[in-house]
Chain A
Amino acid sequence: MVAANPEIPLARPLVSPSIVTRLHGLVVTVDHKKLGLMYIASALFFLVVAGLMASVIRLQLALPNNNIVAPDTFNRLFTVHGTAMVFFVGMPIVAGLSNYLVPLMIGARDMAFPRLNAFGYWMFLFGAALLFFSYIGAPGLSGHGSAPDVGWFAYAPLTGRAFSRGNSTDYWTLCLLVSGIGSLSSAVNVIATAFGMRSPGMTLMRMPLFVWMMVVVSAMMFIVIPPLTAAQIMLLIDRFLGGNFFNTQSGGSAVLWQHFFWIFGHPEVYVLMIPGFACASEIIPVFSRKPIFGYSAMVGATTMIAFVSMGVWAHHMFSMGMTSVGNTFFMISTMAISVPTGIKIFNWLATMYGGKIRFELPMLCCLAFLFQFLIAGLTGIMLAAVPFDWHLTDTYFVVAHFHYVLIGGMLFCIFGGIYYWFPKATGRMLNKTLGLWHVALFFIGFHLTFDTMHIPGLLGMPRRIYTYDPGRGWELLNLITSIGVVFQIVGIACLAWNLIRSLRKGEKAGDDPWDAWTLEWATTSPPPEYNFETVPPVRSARPLWDLKHPEDPDWKYE
């Protein structure tokens, strides 16, 4: 309907190529769209794997003094679950979405460095392979150990040679080092693409918010991944060369590791969350039929979050005996984040206000996100309240908080994004009935599991325990928590089935099924290799709105 019309002949071979040819195609591809989809597909695969590990965790904790897995096995499960979810589900989804969408949204033909892009993907996959291979490989020469069992933040000195023999911790270290390099490659690409390849007319303040947020996230990665890398190098020096960085026996400091990890770790959680915000910022306006309220405030708030998040890391360490001044400082900076985050929430609300909200699947996910993220943010405030945190830290309340942000916040937005952009990527709609089942079941399961999970924390249940005695009022709550997982599994299975089925059988989508406003909807679905034949003129943040409504274009109001 718009500039690029479907009549353009696509370079499609007549006979479908053999599976080997296709796999080979995937391995050698440098096309940002293929890589983006490969990232997302891998992330969903690891979501299922790590989710199944979580299911075993929940099975073990469903009843007191349960004996389904041995203590060490349990400790490995939560370590690998946490590591995989953060680094091999969250991070590749960030990379995948930005790879697929950023060039399309700014009207570019590819990323700035296509080969670097492919390199990034394979580094990520290699990192993930290292993590899971540790189950087989980590006994190494010394015969000790299996997968890493030090927790996803691997506090020193538990990771030292004295307490972690064998190579399990080394696998953990290396998998993060390697995948960190992968993430950096994709971040460089996003930044260079967004700065250097925007289509004419698209000034920075006309970039879709999605692109803005991905730029901010990528910029954050440059600053926060290196501390992790540095800390991992130090750990490797300690473990292989006998260094003393974190060796408390020779004067090293266990607390230094905590600082280094969380200087990375806290901004990292926003690196995971902001792409969620990015999806919501595209979806909510389209389904409310209004432009985003306060575009520049959104940009400003995102940048604020990025900046402030670099100065809050020690809120993960309130119980480690900082001075009261230190505690107070990090409490203030942490709570300060609620201001820009609040601005976002209110802007989304204001976007819906006065609109005509269509309850399509992407929008349903975003509405659930708004509700859940509010709760998650408020439990975050409780954690930031230092004296309260002295109780809450390292309990199931924290576990509930971060699953609430990561699942209720990030994952729901990602689901929304999948429903929203799947038609663009494949040319077919996802099935709505199956989608409703997925969203409903996952919503119920999520709330059963993670609402309930807060309470054992308040009743004194620490995290990372493989079992517990009856009698402290935790039994029923843990059982409910575990039952919720059943709903989640069925929900995710619906999604998986829907994705696979709709790929072939889905209803044809057309170029612009949602009547949306950003450039990616101006090309065919799926877009051709070169993305655009001609890019529509960009005179505002909503170029397609301008095309569709010449009588009332946005650029008049800029």
Chain B
Amino acid sequence: MQFNIRSSRAMITRALFMFFALGLSASPVFADGASSVTNIFKPDGPPARAIFDYTMLVLAVCAVIFVIVVGLLVYTVTRFRHRREDDGQEPPQVYGSNQIELAWTVIPIIIVFVLTLVTARTIAEVQNAVPPPKALKVTVVGHQWWWEIRYPDLGVVTANELHVPVSDPAQPRPTFLKLESADVAHSFWIPQLAGKTDVIPNRDNSMWIEPVTPGTYLGNCAEYCGTQHARMLIRVIVHPQGEFENWVAAQKPDSATDTNLVAAQKPDSATDTQVKAGRDVFFSTSCVNCHTINGTEANGKFGPDLTHLMSRQTLGSGAALNTPEKLRAWVRNPQNLKPGCYMPDMQLTDEEMDQLVRYLLTLN
């Protein structure tokens, strides 16, 4: 039997959407304009789409079974209920029937068999995809409780926000992710782009995404990883055609367009003495032990790379939006915004705080 599903899929899809209408009806706007959708029924790109099509088939099969069995249940219960005008006799005692047993053994076996075939096909389709030469390669490292994102071929390191180019179906440009963990198990999941894959220490896992619509996609760490598992969010920013290269250029340590970075590297050329003072605070406090700023002596690896901090939308892996006020609040005491996270309260004075934030704001 060849699955003649594709033609009727649209119909099933629509019907099933009604099912989940309740959930979909509530879709307010996300504060910072990022798409708030993390709905697995709004897939974007081949892997997510393959899963979605398959999902609809499974849902349809289950819906049919549900309707049939509930129908039988309701019929039996109403038809054979004890009636008031009953004669008080016991009903005929029936002990079983091998034919009937056989029937309801074989039919489920057939259903399961069919499901199995489709499933195996989809598993292979998604899991065994081979990266084309043009594919972007990214290494994602899970930390308690933030993501380190490295582009080994491009020499770029960032955190918590994965930037990728949009893929044109005519000229596919998928992104292949290598998943590593620095501590415990995490799981990388962007519902609209792909299923999740666990990020496990001492184990090489990988996955791929291929978004075809530019925009911001949200996701979460989906494996319990300790205190702040809830605030280990992910953003994927899909750049329109051609813009990804600009982003990469801006992230390069030696990027000439990055005047502020130059300012940071050569403090004497900094126009603002506050910034310079802030820089001193940064380098005289233990910030440098945990954070890296390219081109400076700060090369700590315990926390996120701060070289292009201001190019990020959020702080602390989605704990807050990256506004100057929140940045100040973060550095003042990260434990307020993200209780239990591994950046300590640095106990700075107000004046130091002002200067430090001025400096951090130049890191874009």
Also in contact, A460 and B227, with CB within 8 A (given A388-B55, A477-B23, A477-B26): no
A370 near B92: Cβ-Cβ < 8 Å: no
Q: How far is the CA of A455 from the CA of B27 in the complex (A)?
A: 13
Q: Which residues of A contact B225 (CB under 8 A)?
A: 158
Task: Answer whether residue B94 sits at the interface, using C-beta atoms and an 8 A cutoff.
Answer: yes
A131 to chain B, nearest CB (A): 18
Give Cα A338–Cα B113 distance, bound, in whole angstroms. Answer: 11
Query: Are A462 and B185 within 8 A (Cβ)?
Result: no
Interface string of A335-374 (1 = CB under 8 A from B): 1101100110111011011111111000000010011001
A222 to B127, CA, bound (A): 36
Residue A289 CB within 8 A of the other chain: yes
Q: Please report the C-alpha to C-alpha distance between residue A321 and residue B200 in the assembled complex, in whole angstroms.
A: 9
Q: Cα distance A464–B222 when bound, in Å?
A: 9
Chain B residues numbered 102-127 whose CB sits less than 8 Å from any CB in chain A: 104-105, 108-109, 112, 115-116, 119-120, 122-124, 126-127
A381 at the interface (CB under 8 A from B): yes
List residues of chain B with CB within 8 A of the CB of A248: 201-202
Within 8 Å of chain A (Cβ to Cβ): is B66?
yes
B198 and A321 form a contact (CB under 8 A): yes
Chain A residues whose CB sits within 8 angstroms of the CB of B41 once the complex forms? 458
A455 contacts across to B, CB distance below 8 A: 20, 22-23
Residue of B nearest to A341 (CB): B108
Residues B227 and A71 in contact, CB atoms below 8 Å apart? yes
The contact string, 1 if C-beta is below 8 Å from chain A, for chain B 156-196, is 00000000000000000000000100011101010100111
In the complex, the answer to whether A328 meets B119 with C-beta atoms within 8 Å is: yes
The one of B26, B122, B221 in contact with A462, judged by C-beta atoms closer than 8 angstroms, is: B221
Please measure, in the bound complex, the distance between the C-alpha atom of A331 and the C-alpha atom of B120, giving whole angstroms. 9
Q: Is B290 an interface residue (CB 8 A)?
A: no
Chain B residues with Cβ under 8 A from A472's Cβ?
A: 30, 36-38, 218
B123 touches A387 (CB 8 A): yes
- Could you tell me if A473 and B23 are in contact, using CB atoms closer than 8 angstroms? yes
Please name all residues of chain B whose beta carbon is closer than 8 Å to the beta carbon of A459 when the two chains form the complex. 23, 38-40, 191
- Size bracket of the A interface: 35 or more
Find the A residue at minimum CB distance from B233: A469
**Which of A343, A352, A386 interacts with B80 by CB under 8 Å?**
A352
Residue interface bits A315-346, CB-to-B below 8 A is 1, else 0:
00001110010011001100110110011011
The residue of chain A having its C-beta at the shortest distance from the C-beta of B53 within the complex is: A387
**Alpha-carbon separation in the docked complex, A371 to B206 (Å):** 40
Instruction: For the complex, give the distance between the alpha carbons of A113 and B179 in Å.
Output: 53
User: Do the beta carbons of A387 and B95 come within 8 Å of each other?
Assistant: no
Residue pair B94, A354 in contact (C-beta under 8 Å): yes
Q: In the complex, which of the residues A248, A255, A463, A476 has the most CB atoms of chain B within 10 Å of its own CB atom? A: A248
Q: How many A-B residue pairs have CB under 8 A?
A: 290
State the Cβ distance, B336 to closest chain A Cβ, in Å. Answer: 12
Given A291-B93, A319-B187, A350-B100; A473-B73 close (CB under 8 Å): no
Rounded to whole angstroms, the CA-CA distance of A475 and B23 in the bound complex is 10
CA distance A460 to B91 in the complex (A): 51
Q: Is the CB of A343 within 8 A of B76?
A: no
Measured as residues with beta carbon below 8 angstroms from the partner, the interface class of chain B is 35 or more
Q: Does A524 contact B (CB under 8 A)?
A: no
CB atoms of A370 and B196 under 8 A apart = no
Distance of A295 Cα from B108 Cα, bound (Å): 20
Q: Indicate if A17 sits at the interface (CB-CB under 8 A).
A: no
A346 to B91, CA, bound (A): 19
A357 to B74, CA, bound (A): 12
User: Is B132 in the interface zone, CB < 8 Å from A?
Assistant: no
Q: How far is the CA of A320 from the CA of B92 in the complex (A)?
A: 53
Q: Does B155 count as interface, using CB distance less than 8 angstroms?
A: no
Annotate A451-475 by CB proximity to B: 1 below 8 A, 0 otherwise: 0000110111111111111111111
B251 contacts chain A at the CB level, 8 A cutoff: no
B10-52 Cβ-contact flags toward A at 8 Å (1 or 0): 0000000000101110111111000011111100000000110
Contact B227 A75 (CB under 8 A): yes
Interface residues of A (CB under 8 A from B): 70-72, 75, 149-151, 155-158, 162-163, 248, 251-255, 288-291, 293-297, 319-321, 324, 327-328, 331-332, 335-336, 338-339, 342-343, 345-347, 349-350, 352-359, 367, 370-371, 374-375, 378-379, 381-382, 385-391, 393-395, 455-456, 458-477, 549, 552, 554, 557
Question: Taking beta carbons and an 8 Å cutoff, which residues of B are in contact with A?
Answer: 20, 22-24, 26-31, 36-41, 50-51, 54-55, 58-59, 62, 65-66, 69-70, 72-73, 76-77, 80-83, 86, 90-97, 100-101, 104-105, 108-109, 112, 115-116, 119-120, 122-124, 126-128, 144, 179, 183-185, 187, 189, 191, 194-198, 200-203, 205-206, 218-230, 318, 339-340
